[in-house]
Structure 1
Amino acid sequence: MEYLPLGDTGLYVSRLCLGTMTFGKNTTYKAIGSLEMNEVQEIVDRAFDVGINFFDTANLYAMGESETLLGKAIGKRREEAVIATKLYNPFTNDMNSLGTSRKAIMREVESSLKRLGTDYIDLYQVHSWDSTTPLEETLSALDDLVKSGKVRYIGLSNFSGWQIAKAHGISEAKGFHKFVSSQSYYSLVGREIEYEVLPAVRNLNMGVMVWSPLASGFLSGKYTGENVEQGRRSHFSFPPVDLEQGDKIVEVLKDIASTHKATPAQIAIAWLLHQKGITSIITGVRRMDQFEDNIASIKIKLSREELTQLNTVSQPGTPFMYMDFGLQRGQTLQDRVTQLKST
């Protein structure tokens, strides 16, 4: 296993992170996973065996059951583990149960600590942007949690580039602890974060945790063509996929996989591990064979030609505002003028 510091911190995390959205029997998440304690224990033990020290959960997953099962599975190995959890989503119909107000944050951190069976959380993440709460209020409350010792570091999830920059600016101005990481969706069929989010977090030296690296299993090749309506995606088709482009991407993945004696899923994860600024890939599994498949991706080294193939077939259309009209490296002004005249 390889390890990287989480952003601009001294906290080292494994390049693969075990996601726990499949933990728990809550019927709301039946289509995603419904692992019980014995299955959870087996997967968590295997994660430790291969050097994974990073575990990601959320208060929302299985309505809190995921945190409870993860805490029990880690047990006495707590100091070996880096536990990340999240808050934002509501459990009840109470007016103040949603969001990142000071009241919500203080309530949810205590509940998560209790379910996890620990007295501190390594990485406490805001699960989504809260447009109803002043960001200063959220950041002030999170800063208090870090100062109290209940939380070691804070992170964000599913923020846009401008939201990340605004949060950093407020924390800088107020002297609050800053977000150290961003958890975002990123895959060969979902590269939108390359426009704003990745440039922002790279500039601010933040870590990046990738969720749904296989687009809910699409990039495994199981759901392409005639099989698109089968399996998990037939019940939970999220994140959305451009099926026409997606099928082409999977074909390239299969070709490259055959060269490496690997699976398409392993190549898709390996591609992410080769991307600049990516700290850790969150892998959520329902079966041990899926987990073993994902673990093997850490050893795959893709050639420049293979990376180019994957980049080309998965390249999203570039919005006008992100087109590069400036000088390229080593290009003179006259070179640029000539280039523009020829287009």
Structure 2
Amino acid sequence: MHQRPLGRSGLAVSRLALGTMTWGRDTDPDDAAEQMKLFLEAGGTLIDTADVYGNGDAEAVIGSLLDHLVPREQVVISTKAGLTPHGWRARDGSRGNLLRSLDASLRRLGTDHVDLWQVHGYDAHTPFEETLSALDHAVSSGRVRYVGVSNFAAWQTARAATWQSAYPTRAPIVAAQMEYSLLERGIERELLPAAAALGFGVLAWSPLGRGVLTGKYRNGRPLDSRAASEHYAPFVQTYLEPRSSSIVQAVVTAAGGLGVSPLEVALAWIRDRPGVTAPILGARTAGQLQGALRSEELTLPAEIARALDDVSAIDVGYPEREGTGDPHGAM
């Protein structure tokens, strides 16, 4: 598998990442082990998780697998902190909470450091400088190698990246983990241009549009699908609407012409978008992951990529259009 630098950093990662959101809950340890083996055999290195996945169980499963499947130094572990599923604060970016969460993640992962640590969401109740100071402390203490943010708005991400680059002693923001797919292209308005200007890489979560781009929902909701799951039905419902149907049909048509699966087409499209370092593969089973890994062998013909761009295009108006050079954007 090809490796890419994460933004303008020295950290190289595989251009497909292994996601673990379902591990410890919907994916049992045996299937997780099979997924890890498949991913490593394909040349993958970047494993993404978070302290809230499975209430910490996903990190614990990863830690148990690292004991015997692969040497720690051969994988890049990315985790996140800052979401609080219980209590009055949905997000807690305080220094105390973030650093406590990091220590707990390290214990579950069975390692003395993570390669990438990200703030999982913007906390409006905590001073921005306090949140970012936790990143600096995590790096200076050796517990974290690189830092980033996740699910921040473009202005919040740009502010964080600019603040961190103001002094050489601060840990630079090297990554932003955001939802991005043919069904959700909102980050193209401002966040991707910010990434290009400020030098951070983008990790794309839910690159298959929460599973909808596989085409499996065209004729209903399979009983073993996320849309039929108690945990994930509302998560998938967002994209079960008419606009998504036309995009899914375009992906299915392209896949038929190329002799591959819709999943491979959707992943190849997102993988090669400017600014994207890696899409995160969120398979529930080893079989699903095996299909996703086949996308590594596919490069979309330019005319098909353009057709998918057109059918899934989003509106870009004022003021974002001002920065595109569109002569009709200025008055």
Could you tell me the TM-score, scaled by structure 2's length? 0.92
Structure-1 separation of matches of 2:287 and 2:180: 23
Write the letter of the residue equivalent to 1:180. Answer: V
The residue number in structure 2 matching 1:179 is: 173
CA contact (8 A) 2:212 2:240 kept: no
Structure-2 separation of matches of 1:98 and 1:244: 33
The residue number in structure 1 matching 2:162 is: 169
Q: Which moved more, 1:188-197 or 1:172-181?
A: 172-181
Write the letter of the residue equivalent to 2:194. Answer: A
RMSD of the alignment, in Å? 2.2
1:184-333 correspondence to structure 2 within 5 Å? 184-224=178-218, 226-227=219-220, 231-235=225-229, 236=232, 237-238=234-235, 240-241=238-239, 243-324=241-322, 327=325
The structural deviation recorded for 1:262 is: 0.6
Q: 1:173–1:214: structure 2 CA closer, same or farther, 3 Å change rule?
A: same
Write the letter of the residue equivalent to 1:281. Answer: P
In structure 2, which of residues 30, 34, 43 is the aligned counterpart of residue 38 of structure 1? 30
The structural deviation recorded for 1:182 is: 0.5
The residue number in structure 1 matching 2:18 is: 18
Q: 1:75–1:315: structure 2 CA closer, same or farther, 3 Å change rule?
A: same
Structure-2 separation of matches of 1:87 and 1:44: 23
Structure-2 separation of matches of 1:323 and 1:98: 32
Identity rate, percent? 36
CA contact (8 A) 1:44 1:74 kept: no
CA contact (8 A) 2:121 2:152 kept: yes
Q: 1:96–1:119: structure 2 CA closer, same or farther, 3 Å change rule?
A: farther
In structure 2, which of residues 103, 118, 122 is the aligned counterpart of residue 125 of structure 1? 118
Q: 1:96–1:114: structure 2 CA closer, same or farther, 3 Å change rule?
A: farther
Deviations 1:191-227 (A, max 9, x none): 0000011111111111110000111110000113x41
The residue number in structure 2 matching 1:333 is: none
CA contact (8 A) 1:216 1:233 kept: no
Verify: 1:48 aligned to 2:40, yes or no. Answer: yes
CA contact (8 A) 2:81 2:120 kept: yes
Verify: 1:80 aligned to 2:77, yes or no. Answer: no
Structure 2 counterpart SS, 1:145: helix
1:86-165 correspondence to structure 2 within 5 Å? 86-90=80-84, 92-93=86-87, 98-165=91-158
Deviations 1:123-172 (A, max 9, x none): 01100011111111111121011011000000100111110111122223
Write the letter of the residue equivalent to 1:72. Answer: S
Write the letter of the residue equivalent to 1:19. Answer: G
Q: 1:327–1:165: structure 2 CA closer, same or farther, 3 Å change rule?
A: closer
Which is greater in Rg?
1
Q: 1:340–1:256: structure 2 CA closer, same or farther, 3 Å change rule?
A: same
Structure-2 separation of matches of 1:51 and 1:269: 17
The structural deviation recorded for 1:56 is: 0.3
CA contact (8 A) 2:201 2:277 kept: yes
The residue number in structure 1 matching 2:57 is: 65
The residue number in structure 2 matching 1:331 is: none
CA contact (8 A) 2:190 2:320 kept: no
CA contact (8 A) 1:216 1:238 kept: yes
